[in-house]
Amino acid sequence: MKEKLINSDFLKKLDRLKLNSNIILNKGYSGLRKSKSKGNSVEFSDFREYTHGDDYRKIDWNVYARFERLFIKLFMEEREALINIFLDCSKSMDFGNPKKSLTAQKIALALGYLSLSNMDKINLFTQKDDFLKDTDYLHGKNSFSTLVNYVDNINFDNKRDFFSLIKSRTYKKGVSIIISDLFTNTLKDSIKYLSYMKQTIIIIQVLSLEEIKPNDTGDIRFIDSETHEAKDVSVTPQVLSSYNDTFSEFINEIKELCHKYGCSYTLVSNKEHIDEIILDNLIKARILR
């Protein structure tokens, strides 16, 4: 039985969250933002149950009269925020216990859901062999099931570098969320390209605990799952400490890169629960609020 990727309780919690407006406003785009031009330019899009903090002026009292529940009317702006979610589905993601891919899928769904519920358009990019595959722009909460089905059917078995594919198409101004383990040498090029495409970039690095802190010692032949390349290492405490140094350096390089290009970045581990990731990690990283 496949684990259920996401449950409704969690989705409820997500309803309260949205992508950090700072990020979005800085770039001058929003999906569901208070705007002076709202009265003229919006059109009805959807209903949503009132949650704490919503503008009570948007409550549809007619609906309240019928169901005795508070709903607010959602309007879609013409200037939608476009959210591109890049989900790395290379073989290396298919590792760890629980698998990194599972964590990544959950994050993608969570971010997809809260973007959809915030009236943004999302497009989920994955990899199919040598091509970049996408869901095309989805919008509205009712597209969520499409997204779930899509994510559920992703195979994490690609051996080609995902990041080199990002450059294979153009993007409209928007937000790009990259969910990956970032084991690549082309990250910098991709970030550069996305910046050039006027994207606000959010990078969520998913790593398994074994990668963050390996604890096997002895003579080990590490076999790369993507290339099947074997590397004989006599793992001694010295080597492990050297690995830790390399790992910190690796993370710092990414952080530096993100800082340079104004990206948001966070590192999540496969051991973290999705609640923890979304409600704690991403908020702390000021990606969500």
Q: Residues 64, 246, 259, 280: which binds other proteins (CB under 8 A)?
A: 246
CB of 106 closer than 8 Å to CB of 77: no
Minimum CB distance to other proteins, residue 240 (Å): 9
Residue type present at position 223: I
Choose between 196 and 222: whose C-beta lies nearer to other proteins: 222
Choose between 37 and 241: whose C-beta lies nearer to other proteins: 241
Closest C-alpha to 284, from 17, 7, 102: 17
Choose between 60 and 226: whose C-beta lies nearer to other proteins: 226
In a 3-state reduction of DSSP, which class is residue 262?
coil
The count of other CB atoms within 10 Å of the CB of residue 43 is 8
Task: Return the exposure string of 210-237: e unless at least 16 CB atoms fall within 10 Å of the residue's CB, then b.
Answer: ebeebeeeeeeeeeeeeeeeeeeeebee
Binding-site size for other proteins (CB under 8 A) equals: 39
Minimum CB distance to other proteins, residue 188 (Å): 15
CB of 171 closer than 8 Å to CB of 106: no
Choose between 99 and 167: whose C-beta lies nearer to other proteins: 99
- Residues in region 202-221 near other proteins by CB under 8 A: 208, 210-211, 216, 218-221
Q: Does 222 bind other proteins (CB under 8 A)?
A: yes
Cα dihedral value 158, 164, 170, 175, nearest 10 = 80
- Residues in region 253-282 near other proteins by CB under 8 A: none
Among 33-41, 181-189, 260-268, 271-279, the segment contacting other proteins (CB under 8 A): 181-189
Choose between 82 and 207: whose C-beta lies nearer to other proteins: 207
Question: φ, ψ for residue 76 (rounded to 5)?
Answer: -100, 130
Residue type present at position 110: A
Choose between 47 and 222: whose C-beta lies nearer to other proteins: 222
Choose between 42 and 209: whose C-beta lies nearer to other proteins: 209
Q: Does 50 bind other proteins (CB under 8 A)?
A: no
Mark 79-108 with x for binding to other proteins (rule: CB under 8 A) and - for no binding.
------------xxxxxx---x--------
Q: Residues 50, 137, 250, 261: which binds other proteins (CB under 8 A)?
A: 250
Contacts of 197 by beta carbon, 8 Å cutoff, 6+ apart? 170, 171, 173
Q: Does 239 bind other proteins (CB under 8 A)?
A: yes
Across the beta sheet with 131-134, the strand order is: 131-134, 121-128, 82-87, 174-180, 199-207, 264-269
Binding site for other proteins (CB under 8 A): 91-96, 100, 181, 183-184, 208, 210-211, 216, 218-227, 229-234, 236, 239, 242-243, 245-247, 249-250
